[in-house]
Amino acid sequence: MPPRRNHLEFWGVAVASLVVLVVLPCLNAFPSESSALHVSNFTINLYGKYLCYAALAISIDLLWGYTGLLSLGQCLFFSLGGYALGMHLMLMIGKLGQYHSDLPDFMVFLGYPRLPAHWVPFRHFWFAAAAVVWVPGLVALVFGFLAFRSRIRGVYFAILTQALTYAACLMFFRNDFTFGGNNGLTDFKFILGHDLRSAATQRSLYICTGLLLLGTYLLCRWLTTTRFGKLQRAIRDSENRVLFSGYATANFKLFIFVLSAMLAGLAGALYVPQVGIINPSEMGTDKSLEAVVWVAVGGRGTLVGPVLGAVIVNALKSWATRAYPDLWLLFLGGLFILVTVFLPKGIIGLPGQLRQLRNRCSAVRPPAAKGSDFALAADPGLAEHE
Amino acid sequence: MTMTAKEFILTLEDVDKTFDGFKAISGLTFYMDVGELRTIIGPNGAGKSTMLDLITGRTRPDRGKIEFGRDTDLTGLNEYQINRLGIGRKFQTPSVYTDHTVFENLLLSLPGTRSVWEALFSRVTRAQRDRIDELLQITRLAGQVGTKAGALAHGQKQRLEIGMLLAQDAKLLLVDEPTAGMTDEETARTGELLLSLAGTHSLIVIEHDMAFVRQIARKVTVLHQGSVLCEGTVDEVQNNEQVVEVYLGRKHDPKRHL
């Protein structure tokens, strides 16, 4: 079975890459806006956002699905990457802001005499681009070092990561923290001299995001084939055995935690210019939890699963927040419960589960009873949540 | 103790360990020769597993000396450092990598490749394949080489874990209840395996099953309340009055249990 699935995955990824990276951008660029084939700028922008989320989801799965480390603070790293690039974009506004000052608007408003020292190097794109990776990496390194050295595992690790992102969120909300307080960073105008409002720039950002996602996928695919990847799963299944086999498991966990923080940072950096804003609510604990739900829905422990989960849940969110704006969180919670109870392996695991069910049904005659059991069990769970 | 002539693989002297006021190990002194197969028995709570925890660095002693070989102090080292010295531990419940094949389980246990960097870029060598083949023969798992460890029978998992210790090139094997949950036939085969390893390896086997102890034991150590109650052959131990009393005190029938 695995070789066939690999084949399927290979062709699936190849076709999806072609559509995302070539077909959609071409349909956005070439047909006239009145044509039925035209893909709107809005759609490209929306899909770009989904692709950022998909890359974030892979970074979570690398920790949760492959190493058994549930991080409920992954959006912190995503936001840090976003802030790093956002700072550069703020400085690129120049005198075009509301106050026609060299300083970003919020600094003028709050009465800053000059640009704070730590903002200065962000004038350089290369510095900001490096910070997108090393700032989340450094935070993960320090936090991970302390957590893994103290052997914090399982649910305690999850709670600590959640506390970390919440603490950071509260700090960024403060106006005197020099990152724009609750309004965050916004009103970006240019990236590398290109107008952010032009369709061509947005299309390029979208393609970059697609390439980042493909790169992330390929990197993780390679990682799973190495002995490191095997050790990751060994740590997930029996950490003591790995430790008592002479491996310093803390180093392995630290490496993967830092790597996944960096990947999340990159995704966040591409998210910001496409969405046009970054503020502390992106670090909120709810965002990180939501991202964990994408992975659970798609299927953890796989690389395609998180991508599917991120895209499907967010597409659902786009629809639900328009159709039933007040009910979205209930939808999300219900979805999570449904998936946890009925689809432990997510959407990716569904065909296998159906096959098993069919085999069981054909082996044992009366399948009707089984089916109704499921329906009964599903209802009260949902009703309770409403 | 002045036994300078003989070389010990393991030395514990006056070791104490207290957990929240409970003396799990008190004044434990224990010597083991190179190549010896030592069986440790004792009632529940006698400190058998704690003793293994102390040797393997899982917990640290409050007091006392723990040395490996001639003079390697183990008390300041942690689990993976102690393992790298050549001390392998088999857990009571078989712990193997359930999502990996038997081959991969053994591969991850082979020596070398312990850093993150090496793990990213190392490849399986010819010599490693040969060694794995050899281990598959020893543990009689050649037919299951591609099977996921999670799908193995209980006894096969136990054998695989012993194979993993051998793969590590462990000089001293600490084996905690290797026959728990095994059929009689599996138990006998595991006994043969352990006996065949003695001599080239040093082994400590913790066991409850007295039939099994009879099969493998040369020298038996009885632990009670965190220290050594007596040592000797199976018969000597069984006829020791103190031992009988300890088991009687715990409402066990000594004749049946020993």
In a domain, B1, yes or no: no
In a domain, B21, yes or no: yes
Contact present, A260 and A141 (Cβ < 8 Å): no
> Strand, helix or coil at A111?
coil
User: Which pLDDT tens digit goes with each residue over A238-261?
Assistant: 999 999 999 999 999 999 999 999
User: Which pLDDT tens digit goes with each residue over A159-204?
Assistant: 999 999 999 999 999 988 999 999 999 999 999 999 999 999 999 9
d(CA B12, CA B51): 10
Tell whether the model's pLDDT for residue A377 goes beyond 70. Answer: no
Of the pLDDT bands very low, low, confident and very high (cuts 50, 70, 90), residue B5 is: low
In a domain, A252, yes or no: yes
Nearest to A238 among B80, B83, B97 (CB): B97
**Inter-chain residue contact B84 with A246, CB threshold 8 Å:** yes
Query: What does the CA dihedral A331, A336, A340, A345 come to, rounded to 10 degrees?
Result: 110
- A226 shares its domain with A95: yes
- Residue A98 has a pLDDT of 87
- A123 shares its domain with A169: yes
In a domain, B210, yes or no: yes
> Strand, helix or coil at A221?
helix
Query: What does the CA dihedral B76, B80, B81, B84 come to, rounded to 10 degrees?
Result: 150
- Residue B61 has a pLDDT of 94
- A254 shares its domain with A310: no
Query: What does the CA dihedral B209, B210, B216, B222 come to, rounded to 10 degrees?
Result: 100
Domain count, chain A: 2
Tell whether the model's pLDDT for residue A129 goes beyond 80. Answer: yes
Beta bridge partners of B30: B12
What is the total residue count of chain A?
386
User: Which pLDDT tens digit goes with each residue over A287-337?
Assistant: 999 999 999 999 999 999 999 999 999 999 999 989 998 888 898 999 999
- Residue B249 has a pLDDT of 63
Place of tokens 């207290």: B18
- Residue B170 has a pLDDT of 92
Interface confidence (ipTM) of the complex: 0.89
Q: What are phi and psi of B20, to 5 degrees?
A: 45, 45
* Chain A environment of B108 (Cβ under 8 Å): 227, 230-231, 234, 242, 245
The last residue of one of the domains, among A283, A317, A333, is: A283
Domain count, chain B: 1
Alpha-carbon distance B164 to nearest alpha carbon in chain A (angstroms): 8
Of the pLDDT bands very low, low, confident and very high (cuts 50, 70, 90), residue A370 is: very low
d(CA B201, CA A285): 53
Neighbour-count burial of B34, counting CB atoms closer than 10 A to its CB (0-12 exposed, 13-18 middle, 19+ buried): middle
- Residue A74 has a pLDDT of 96
Of the pLDDT bands very low, low, confident and very high (cuts 50, 70, 90), residue B250 is: low
Of the pLDDT bands very low, low, confident and very high (cuts 50, 70, 90), residue A367 is: very low
Alpha-carbon distance A249 to nearest alpha carbon in chain B (angstroms): 9
- Residue A364 has a pLDDT of 65
Of the pLDDT bands very low, low, confident and very high (cuts 50, 70, 90), residue A383 is: very low
Q: Which region among A27-31, A254-258, B253-257 has the lowest average model confidence (pLDDT)?
A: B253-257
**B145-159 exposure pattern, b = at least 16 Cβ within 10 A, e = fewer:** eeebbeebeebbbbb
- A139 shares its domain with A238: yes
User: Which residues span the domain enclosing B166?
Assistant: 8-257
What CATH number is associated with residue B147? 3.40.50.300
B110: nearest CA in chain A?
Answer: A245
In a domain, B208, yes or no: yes
- A246 shares its domain with A369: no
Nearest to B89 among A226, A244, A249 (CB): A244
d(CA A3, CA A68): 25
* Chain A environment of B88 (Cβ under 8 Å): 244
* Chain B environment of A227 (Cβ under 8 Å): 107-108, 113, 118-120, 122
- Residue A4 has a pLDDT of 66
d(CA A25, CA A15): 15
DSSP annotation of B198 reads B
Contact present, B9 and B202 (Cβ < 8 Å): yes
* Chain B environment of A255 (Cβ under 8 Å): 116
A151: nearest CA in chain B?
Answer: B58
- Residue A87 has a pLDDT of 96
Q: What are phi and psi of A199, to 5 degrees?
A: -60, -35
Q: What is the mean pLDDT of residues A68-82?
A: 96
Helix then strand then coil, % of chain A, to nearest 5? 75, 0, 20
d(CA B217, CA B214): 6
User: Which residues span the domain enclosing A87?
Assistant: 58-197+221-283
User: Which pLDDT tens digit goes with each residue over B170-226?
Assistant: 999 999 988 887 888 888 888 888 999 998 999 999 988 888 888 888 899 999 999
Chain A residues whose C-beta sits inside 8 Å of any chain B C-beta: 223, 226-228, 230-231, 233-234, 236-238, 240-249, 251-252, 255
In a domain, A16, yes or no: no
d(CA B109, CA A292): 32
In a domain, A214, yes or no: no
- A192 shares its domain with A336: no
- A306 shares its domain with A371: yes
> Which range in A101-110, B37-46, B123-132 is most confidently predicted, on average pLDDT?
B123-132
In a domain, B130, yes or no: yes
Tell whether the model's pLDDT for residue A366 goes beyond 70. Answer: no
In a domain, A88, yes or no: yes
- A169 shares its domain with A80: yes
**Inter-chain residue contact A246 with B56, CB threshold 8 Å:** no
d(CA B233, CA B243): 13
User: Which pLDDT tens digit goes with each residue over B60-94?
Assistant: 999 999 999 988 999 989 999 999 999 999 988 88
- A144 shares its domain with A236: yes
- Residue A2 has a pLDDT of 53
Instruction: State the pairing for strand pair A194-195/A277-278.
Output: unpaired
- A292 shares its domain with A306: yes
- A326 shares its domain with A293: yes
**Inter-chain residue contact A252 with B97, CB threshold 8 Å:** no
- A237 shares its domain with A321: no
Contacts 24+ apart (CB under 8 A), A371-375: A374/A342
One DSSP character per residue, A154-173 reads HHHHHHHHHHHHHHHHHHHH
